[in-house]
Structure 1
Amino acid sequence: MMDDYTLPFWIYLGVLTVFVGGAMKKILASHLSAASTLVAWLGATVLVERLWPFCLPAVLLVLLAVCLYYATRSSPLPSALPAHGKAVFITGCDSGFGNVTVKHLDSLGFDVFATVLDLKGDGARELQRTCSPRLTLLQVDITQPQQVQQALLDTKAKLGLKGLWGLVNNAGVCVNFGDAELSLMSNFRGCMEVNFFGTLNVTKSFLPLLRQAKGRIVTISSPAGDQPFPSLAAYGASKAALNLFTNTLRHELEPWGVRVSTILPSSYKTGQSSNHAYWEQQHKELLQSLPPALLEEYGEDYVTETKDLFQSFASQANPDLSPVVHAIVQALLAPQPQARYYAGPGIGLMYFIHSYCPFSISNRFLQKLFVKKKLMPRALRKQSGFDLHLSLHNNNNNNNEEKLK
């Protein structure tokens, strides 16, 4: 039977082998939960069973590839690099990921340079109280070039002839919620200024020190920079620019021995996410700034529902930030750090669906996962009601005509 197959069929088998093998590798590398991994394996098993009578050679090749992959995984991993004596510069440490990471890095023996917006704030005082004398706190707004340059001078003065082992780009903001048409231009610019241009400026400023030490750049980004989350256009656009810059930098710095990694966290309680007053203030400012005609078309209830959904989503976020901290440490100390770390439950599965499923499926997955809106914009509701009324009217006319006949 197999002798009758033509060359195109063997090409098809080769392509199938590459696809299935790549899918299995992605499953194993995506940090999925046990249940998700089981589902993925069952799906692959069904696929193999269906194709078994037609492509036994391809299946055997896939099994061989999986065995080789497991053999590679089971080999002993090189031990982590020592933290003692290594200097790390990390931004955005007033709260959230940055604050927790500083404490952990300090406990491991790193010499930490941490930036805060307010040296007298609660976050800065907590770090001073809990960390060792090795910690250096710097007041820096990364959107202000002069402050970044001053932080560079202060860091150089303390390092002396020693280079900088790690730069952790953590500072970031998410100042918008709502449809792109409803998001203020100031929100788009604000996200870009902090998440992209601020991080870009810090990275370029500290690169000479990082190249000197053949060190690491670790950037906290977001899945919103790779996938179109509804109502996060401003934030997602800034993270998309950041992701592309980081990926490009990884290629350019490889000859210098500088390794570049991106951390992609799931949903966590950080910053203002659990602050009820913050959401109410953002909602109030948005309603006051929208043109009356645009607000009329969308409806105040539509905007309010979006705010409530965001607030509810934030309240259910994970308060345990340790997966992100662990990923940062791995990126700093692993002999061969990964280009990307999926930090938190569900992120690996999300990227697997995004990479291997049809667009319609991944798009619906995002809509069901994130902001589950029930209301349509007011203008569409009116249009829908008008169409329904018109349809009922036409049906009545048709029934009357039938009776006349």
Structure 2
Amino acid sequence: MWLWLLALLGLWLLRRWHRERQTVPGLTEKFVLITGCDSGFGSVLARQLDARGLRVLAGCLTEQGAMQLRADASPRLQTVLLDVTSSSSIAATAAWVQERVGERGLWGLVNNAGIAIPTAPNEWLRKEDFVKVLNVNLVGLIEVTLSLLLQLKRARGRVVNVASVMGRLACFGGGYCPSKFGVEAFSDSLRLEMRHFGVKVSIIEPGFFKTNLTNSEAMEKNFISIWERLSDETKASYGKDYLQKFLTATREMGKKCNPNLSLVTDCMEHALTSCHPRCRYAAGWDAKLLYIPLCYLPSALSDIFLSWSYPKPSQSE
């Protein structure tokens, strides 16, 4: 009985491996737009796809980021200044993309742009702190996607949305986790709708990687500035040592972040170039072996596990 089950499992894994090795033909003629290419995953992916011969359209927030990327890539790669929180910037980018792809349509859209700051315990934050993150990570992602759907349908292409394991399991406050939960929901509904048009939608769920989003120094400045604006009563409820505990936990988390960004960009590349892309890609061993399994546990158990590494207010000790 067990031998039959193992044999079936082995055959299924072999079939999956064979299917996922099949590559889309004519990649050198396909255009891919990537948002958030100034640094991090976006910059690495843009250069990675350019090296493979795809026609990369890189959306950068700053001219400096665009210049650096052009210097590191081939003449095929083109850049455009794109602010995903600006409707006019998104509309201008959509028109710019249309001029370049023509009747072929847009093969790939990688919604990579994202921010994590402001972040802090929810009680410390204001509405505008949440809105700032949501506007980039979720609302901007949705507007960029909607502006390019006709071109993606024309090419029967791909949408690759960068979510996070924090879109499965929220373990810190602020707008980042809600935005990534939203990316998951939007991607799932879009995948169901677009399957009738031949457009495939994939979600990338990275663990913790060393990017600007996890920069310990920026996080510390963020926590200090938010702490300083809190009322004396709120500070007292957490205890005078709480901020220092939070900063120490942030530094320790920063040390554990994976510097190998290609683990994520390889997933993105596969989603764009494979004949049979996955619906979801978990990137990084912490995602695969810790956070994804944790999200399937009863909340009471996952809460106990996550609370071990979360700073505790002095009054609760």
Task: Give the TM-score category using the shorter length.
Answer: over 0.9
> Partner letter of residue 294 of structure 1?
T
Match of 1:81 in 2: 24
- Encode CA deviations 1:293-324: one digit per residue, 9 max, x unaligned: 21221234213321331232123311110110
Match of 1:168 in 2: 110
Q: 2:59 touches 2:82 (CA, 8 Å); kept in 1?
A: yes
Specify which of 191, 198, 203 is matched with residue 250 of structure 1.
Answer: 191
Tell me the CA shift for residue 377 of structure 1.
4.1
CA RMSD, Structure 1 to Structure 2 (Å): 1.8
Q: How many residues align?
A: 312
> Partner letter of residue 23 of structure 2?
A
Match of 1:285 in 2: 225
Specify which of 284, 303, 313 is matched with residue 376 of structure 1.
Answer: 313
Structure with larger Rg: 1
Tell me the CA shift for residue 128 of structure 1.
1.0
Q: 1:142 touches 1:202 (CA, 8 Å); kept in 2?
A: yes
Match of 1:218 in 2: 160
- Uncovered stretches (5+) of structure 2, i.e. residues with no partner: none
> Partner letter of residue 272 of structure 2?
L
Match of 2:147 in 1: 205
Specify which of 156, 176, 182 is matched with residue 235 of structure 1.
Answer: 176
> Pairwise mapping of residues 60-71 of structure 1 onto structure 2 (< 5 A)?
60=1, 64-71=4-11
1:180–1:377 CA distance, 2 compared to 1 (3 A)? farther
> Partner letter of residue 274 of structure 1?
N
Match of 2:205 in 1: 264
Q: TM-score, normalised by structure 2?
A: 0.92
Separation in 1, partners of 2:227, 2:240 = 8
Runs of 4+ more than 6 Å apart? none
- The answer to whether 1:157 aligns with 2:99 is yes
Q: 1:279 touches 1:311 (CA, 8 Å); kept in 2?
A: no
The structure with higher relative contact order (CA 8 Å, sep 6+) is 2
Match of 1:184 in 2: 126
Tell me the CA shift for residue 204 of structure 1.
0.5
Separation in 2, partners of 1:98, 1:189 = 23
Separation in 1, partners of 2:38, 2:304 = 36
Tell me the CA shift for residue 138 of structure 1.
0.7
Tell me the CA shift for residue 79 of structure 1.
2.1
> Pairwise mapping of residues 31-50 of structure 1 onto structure 2 (< 5 A)?
none
Q: 1:165 touches 1:213 (CA, 8 Å); kept in 2?
A: yes
Match of 1:354 in 2: 295
> Partner letter of residue 80 of structure 1?
T
- Encode CA deviations 1:329-367: one digit per residue, 9 max, x unaligned: 110111111110011113122323432x44333333333
Separation in 2, partners of 1:284, 1:73 = 49
Higher mean displacement: 263-272 or 175-184: 175-184
- The answer to whether 1:100 aligns with 2:41 is no
Separation in 1, partners of 2:74, 2:235 = 53
- Uncovered stretches (5+) of structure 1, i.e. residues with no partner: 1-59, 382-405
